[in-house]
Chain A
Amino acid sequence: MNLIFLLLSTRQFLSKDQIREAIADYRADGDVAFNRKFERDKEELRELGIPVETGTHSQFGDEPGYRIPRESAELPELDLTPEESAVIGLATQVWEHAGLAGQSSAALLKLKAAGVDVDTSAVRMAEPRLSAEEPAFDAMWEAVTGRSEVQFAYAKAGEPSTTRRVQPWGILSWRGRWYMGGFDLDREAPRLFRLSRVEGEVRTVGARGGYEIPEDVTMQDLARSLFPPEPVGEAVLHVQRDRAVALRRSAVSVTRLDDRTDEVVVRYASPWQVAAEAASYGPDVVVHSPPEARQLTATLLRSALDAATLDPAS
């Protein structure tokens, strides 16, 4: 603390000797102990994110001097509106991950110390929660924010694990799961990895800032495989009245056919998708077109019937 206050209050660079002279705790130590303590404290300042500037002053000769430049160390004025302060307050409740919850509360304390009045009731909105239970998360978060190359063992479901070397470009949370997208150095292509499939330790093998993230890459592009594919056409289904609620909600049109049946038109990306969805509703949904989806549905239903009537013990 004293080192921070001393370096913050000085305009001129202070030499190591001047610092030692000013702080009782350092003065009491011998040379070796002082040097060790001084290095440790400087490291602690770096970890707290406090910038220590080194420079020389003619009167020390070649010896380096130290100071904390006030303008870059102090929090600038933010001029947050009450609503903006409120959303920042809500944001500090988002993380359920202990480390990141701690980081965001530390930021909030600084804002409060700058006189920001945080009244979260000024805005009523959804309270999302973000957790990260994957053991690989912390190392991957560090790698992504620091741009360092990593190496880890990765196993797809039901397959043995392989070692992957990757330059992480970003991470993505989708349906409560975390994914890392980056450049796979062995496959020489962008790849997406699910963090829950990373086995064991994630080793950082490259220096911080060791590569550039291509500007035209977004995580949304990399993660395309997670999202539903683009529709290729429209399927016509005959649906029992009041049934298949979810299908009706995504329908392009719903037309009454007779007392019991509606014609429901939906967009589809593949005939397989139509068939699987229709089959899941059993007799409530009948596929009329496209013909290949109609045929696939019948095939699915037939194999369901065969499997369910077969004695499972045989």
Chain B
Amino acid sequence: MSASARQVQRMLALVPYLQAQQGIPVDRVAQEFGVAPKVIRKDLMQLMFTGVGEYHGELIDVDLTALEEDGVVHLRDADFMTRPLRVTAREGAALIVALRTLRAAADAEQAAIIDGALAKLEHAVGGSVSAPVDVHVEPLDPQVRDAVSRSLAESRRLRIEYATASRDELTTRDVDPRRTFTQEGRLYLEAWCLRAEDLRFFRLDRMASAEVLDVPVDDHGVDPVDLRDGFFAGGDTGPSAVLDLDPTARWIVEYYGAEVLDDSADVWRVRLHGGDESWLRRLALRNAGSVRVVEPAALRAQVADHARSALRAYDGPVATDEEL
């Protein structure tokens, strides 16, 4: 949308807003509308040239003395527009899909509130809202989700059993929750981890259990992390491996964002950055037959060791009924 269209949109909302809030400080208006105070002042100057006609009483009037001396806004002669315009179909679609996204991550009580808001919003939108858009968020253990939202609501410490991403172990940690958010369709908890003594992100679907403790949370004096900086973008750090992929394993390139080193033959050579070595080892074992480790040699040796010792269990006779 162009800057002038945005300004028209803002001014059309300002007219009913300011009439309902006579005497509101201009700084507060700016804050509510998400722009600088000087933008609102400029809007007000332009509004004074608009109205239903050109004579006194037909043009919108702003009390300039009050604006200059007290920094507050009084708007007169605008009774021809006391209500804002309807939410348009486009705005409605954007907001409805956003609400569905919230709903996908909500507990039962929150979902009921969102359903109420959705129903009222659809009524407020001009024309029919066509938003055939689905947002899928991974399903969660309700016990974990409810404990997490309760600990946030009551500002109490949480004890979680957590399965770390790659190391195949379950750890028990006490954490002070700060907020939850979703990223790539998964729900995360941002919390101060008392074990790591640092801010950490925990995936809710990796929590085996969560229990709200009778301990209030500590502030720990840290600023929230701004996710817009792309916290998850740092995929190029940590160990990496060079792999050969058969045609059936090419999905790995797109799925994990591997870097293609050579695709001139049927077998592609790629570099994959992994969380740690055990993750890379598990990937190679899982896809054995279509994925081969080229380097590092240490990773190749690990894959060989694990495969060799695992095979011992299969070399003997197939398990009999008694053994099961």
Interface residues of A (CB under 8 A from B): 1-2, 4-6, 8-9, 22, 24, 44, 47-51, 72-76, 78-81, 83-85, 87-88, 90-92, 94-96, 99-115, 123-130, 141, 144-147, 157-158, 169-177, 196, 213, 218-220, 223, 236, 238, 242-246, 249, 276-277, 279-284, 286, 288-289, 291, 294, 297-305, 307-309, 312
Contacts and interface: CB of A to CB of B under 8 A. Distances in A.
A283 B134 contact: no
A169 B132 contact: yes
B288 A304 contact: yes
A84 B89 contact: no
B212 interface: no
25 contacts: A2-B51, A2-B52, A5-B81, A22-B53, A47-B5, A48-B88, A75-B87, A79-B120, A99-B1, A104-B94, A107-B87, A107-B88, A110-B86, A112-B17, A125-B107, A126-B149, A128-B137, A279-B288, A286-B314, A304-B284, A304-B288, A305-B303, A305-B307, A307-B288, A307-B292
B132 A170 contact: yes
B8 A84 contact: no
B289 interface: yes
B175 interface: no
Contacts of B91: 49, 103-104, 106-107, 110
A129 B98 CA distance: 9
Contact of B288 (A9, A100, A283, A301): A301
Q: Which of A126, A129, A176, A196 has the most CB of B within 10 A?
A: A126
A295 B80 CA distance: 80
Contact of A114 (B84, B137, B304, B324): B84
Given A4-B12, A44-B5, A105-B34, A75 B116 contact: no
Q: Which 10 residue pairs across A and B have the least CB separation, nearest first?
A: A49-B88, A176-B184, A282-B306, A304-B288, A170-B132, A128-B182, A94-B98, A103-B94, A113-B84, A280-B286
Contacts, number: 355
Nearest to B177: A124
Contacts of B87: 75, 107, 110-111
B294 interface: yes
Nearest to B208: A249
Nearest to A173: B135
A309 B94 CA distance: 54
A306 B180 CA distance: 45
Contact of B86 (A75, A105, A308): A75
Given A107-B95, A109-B10, A87 B5 contact: no
Given A128-B105, A304-B285, A307-B292, A91 B136 contact: no
B311 A298 contact: yes
Contacts of A99: 1
Nearest to B119: A84
Given A1-B50, A103-B90, A88 B137 contact: no
